[in-house]
Amino acid sequence: YQFILLIFFILHPLAGLTNYIYNSVNVTSGSYSLDLSGVAPTTVTPSGSFPASGLPAGVVSLQVEGATSGAIGTGNFTIFISYQTTADGEWTVNSKWDTNVNPNSPSVKTHIANNITIPESNTIEVDEITIDENASLHNNGSTFTINGNIILKNGADNKSAKFLNNGNLINRGKIIIRKSFSRTFGWYFMSFPFDVPADRIFIAGTNTIARWGDPTTAATSTNDFYVSEYDGAKRDNTGVVNYTIDSPNWKDVTPHTLIAKKGYIIAVPGDIEIDFVSGSQESALFSTTSSNVSVNKYLNNSYQQHNSWNLIGTPYASAYDLKYATEAPFYHYNNVNYDVVMSGDNVVLNPYTSF
């Protein structure tokens, strides 16, 4: 056997990208998924070990020794470093990250697991960002560029990732609302700040389209989720009141597209995690200005309590207090019955909630 020595330097994010050429293979520094299955043995500098399919976060340099045959494979490899927060605080504080370096590079994937603020007057760029359902990110006056996807997690208990933007946000990728559903929870009152057609609803982390079911037609166990919308016109015409989720005023969604800022109820036949994906470069949910939600007036019924019922949603990726919304009263389903929200009441809704 012939033996070779390959050294890849993963630079500090501020240093940018450097390309290393070996046997016509272009390896971009900052990699997180380089196939080293043909390399044996492998060593890492500084000390430590790693699986053959990936590099650990925060590696400064990688030294690989192995046979020439199959040592690196062929093709182009783009390698990303992953950073995850470890405590609440400011993005620019190194000790808040597992790598002890705050991320700022287009080759960086970031995972927000805490409550993080980007302080004002910074310029930060990353590839992809994931925010956990118990975490939040606040851009407080900086220029923040995200080249890849923004993944916002929403838990089975309706706790949700929160992203408050008070700066200049440049989103070059797609937004993924990654929702966990529990069968025993029942119906989830949900809304999305962008249109989501059926072909952009996937089993989480895959390219497999989730199967949409219509509750009032041929419901089968082969569907992954079921969706209904509220029929305010029918309520106005019939005068039938909604006391519980079991009401004749719910109807199937036709065509199969979830409309931005409109409310829906969603249930699942089994526990599942589903991705609801935006188009490219969506930004309305990060707006720093007020947002309007269109509603319909239904005025045929002589009893006012049956007029103009609409199920709508919060338009932002951050929490929203209904005391700032006009046209109260509102009704919010608490998974048992409906709470009445009067003008000026402090009722804070998580993102992607309908009322």
Mean pLDDT of 264-276: 96
What pLDDT, in 10s, does the model give residues 207-222? 999 999 998 776 566 8
Mean pLDDT of 279-308: 86
Indicate the range of 54-63, 101-110, 141-150, 296-305 predicted with least confidence: 54-63
Q: Are 273 and 224 in contact (CB under 8 A)?
A: no
The conformational region for residue 23 under phi > 0 = left, psi -120 to 50 = alpha, else beta, is: left
Dihedral angle computed from the Cα positions of residues 233, 238, 242 and 245, in that order, rounded to the nearest 10 degrees? -70
Mean pLDDT of 94-109: 85
The shares of helix, strand and coil residues in the chain, as percent rounded to the nearest 5, are 10, 40, 55
326 pLDDT exceeds 50?
yes
Cα Rg for the chain, rounded, in angstroms? 24
Residue 3 has what pLDDT?
30
Residue 218 has what pLDDT?
60
More confident residue, 48 or 124: 124
Mean pLDDT of 233-246: 79
What pLDDT, in 10s, does the model give residues 22-78? 222 233 333 333 444 433 333 323 223 333 334 444 332 333 333 222 333 333 333
Residue 351 has what pLDDT?
94
> Token pair of 3, please?
């033996």
Query: pLDDT over 70 for what percent of the chain?
Result: 75
